[in-house]
């Protein structure tokens, strides 16, 4: 552990963008990532939106060599409840000497403004290490570097349901319909990263049932 570098907490969705952000930060060598912060749906005991089981999330954090910070949220979750959970995480981060919160957002300006507004005046500085990178090139770079991820959630209004449970690889990128962002940044799909240069070893996964819930198609990973 390098005590001379500022400490960062990485907002961790369990997906490829979070994983790539960790990879980028470790290569930059100007911050020390000391934990992964994830919102957990307390009703289902899964990662919010990505719907990944907590057991897999814990295995992922172990493979990354970092402690998992849980931010429990109810289902459904109001903005006030979400902000309360994140506020508690901010307080704990500051108490641990953390000064930076990192995000894997790519280009949605409203999302970035929201995060910046939420952290304004808290003592934590938000950073966006992969912001603005062209997502077509970024997706190819992820695959080429050995990042492996599986689609856990698909919005069938934007992407055929058959993509749920597929691996995020060159074949998938070639099959994406015109207009779908290669990184799914507009919510077309969400992923679980299970191998890559940011992990010490792969996370074993199996794809179980494909289910439709609340208008989304989920691949249950085990």
Confidence tier at 7 by pLDDT (50, 70, 90): very high
Q: Domains along the chain?
A: 7-221 (3.40.50.620)
Token code pair at residue 180: 């779908």
Q: How far apart are CA 212 and CA 110, in angstroms?
A: 28
3-class secondary structure, 10: strand
The residues with which 187 forms a beta bridge, in sequence order, are none
Under a CB-based contact definition with an 8 Å cutoff, are residues 23 and 49 in contact? no
With cut-offs at 50, 70 and 90, classify the pLDDT of residue 4. Answer: confident
Q: What single DSSP character describes residue 51?
A: -
pLDDT in tens, 178-222: 999 999 999 999 999 999 999 999 999 999 999 999 899 999 999
Of 16, 10, 111, 107, nearest in space to 67 by CA: 10
pLDDT band of 8, cuts 50, 70, 90: very high
Reported confidence tier of residue 51, pLDDT bands at 50, 70, 90: confident
What is the pLDDT confidence band of residue 73, given thresholds at 50, 70 and 90? Answer: confident
Query: 25 pLDDT band (50/70/90 cuts)?
Result: very high
How do residues 128-157 score in pLDDT, each as one tens digit?
999 999 999 999 999 999 999 999 999 999
- Asked if the bond preceding 76 is cis, omega within 30° of 0, the reply is yes
Pairing of strands 216-221, 148-154: antiparallel
Instruction: Detail the DSSP E strand segments found in the chain.
Output: 7-11, 32-41, 46-47, 68-73, 100-102, 125-127, 148-154, 189-195, 207-213, 216-221
Token couple for 199: 């992990």
For residue 205, give both structure tokens: 């996964």
Q: How confident is the model at residue 3 (pLDDT cuts 50, 70, 90)?
A: low
CA distances from 166 to 140, 148, 161, 172, 219 (A): 16, 11, 10, 7, 9
123: left (phi over 0), alpha (psi -120 to 50) or beta: left
CA 18 to chain centroid, in Å, comes to 4
Q: Tokens for 190, please give them.
A: 């969400």
pTM of the model: 0.94
């Amino acid at each position: 552990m390098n005590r001379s570098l500022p400490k960062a907490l990485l907002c961790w969705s369990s997906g490829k963008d979070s994983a790539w952000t960790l990879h980028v930060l470790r290569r930059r060598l100007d911050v020390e990532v000391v934990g992964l912060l994830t919102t957990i749906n307390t009703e289902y005991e899964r990662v919010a939106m990505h719907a990944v089981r907590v057991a897999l999330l814990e295995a992922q954090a172990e493979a990354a060599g970092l402690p998992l910070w849980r931010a429990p949220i109810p289902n459904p979750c109001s903005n006030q409840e979400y902000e309360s959970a994140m506020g508690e995480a901010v307080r704990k981060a500051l108490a641990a000497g953390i000064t930076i919160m990192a995000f894997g957002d790519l280009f949605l300006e409203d999302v970035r403004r929201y995060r910046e507004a939420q952290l304004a005046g808290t003592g934590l500085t938000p950073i966006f290490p992969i912001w603005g990178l062209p997502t077509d090139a970024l997706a190819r770079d992820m695959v080429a570097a050995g990042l492996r991820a599986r689609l856990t959630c698909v919005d069938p209004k934007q992407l055929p349901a058959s993509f749920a449970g597929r691996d995020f690889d060159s074949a998938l990128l070639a099959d994406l319909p015109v207009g779908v962002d290669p990184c799914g940044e507009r919510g077309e799909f969400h992923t679980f990263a299970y191998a890559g240069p940011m992990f010490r070893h792969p996370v074993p996964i199996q794809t179980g049932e494909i289910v439709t819930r609340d208008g989304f198609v989920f691949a249950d990973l085990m």
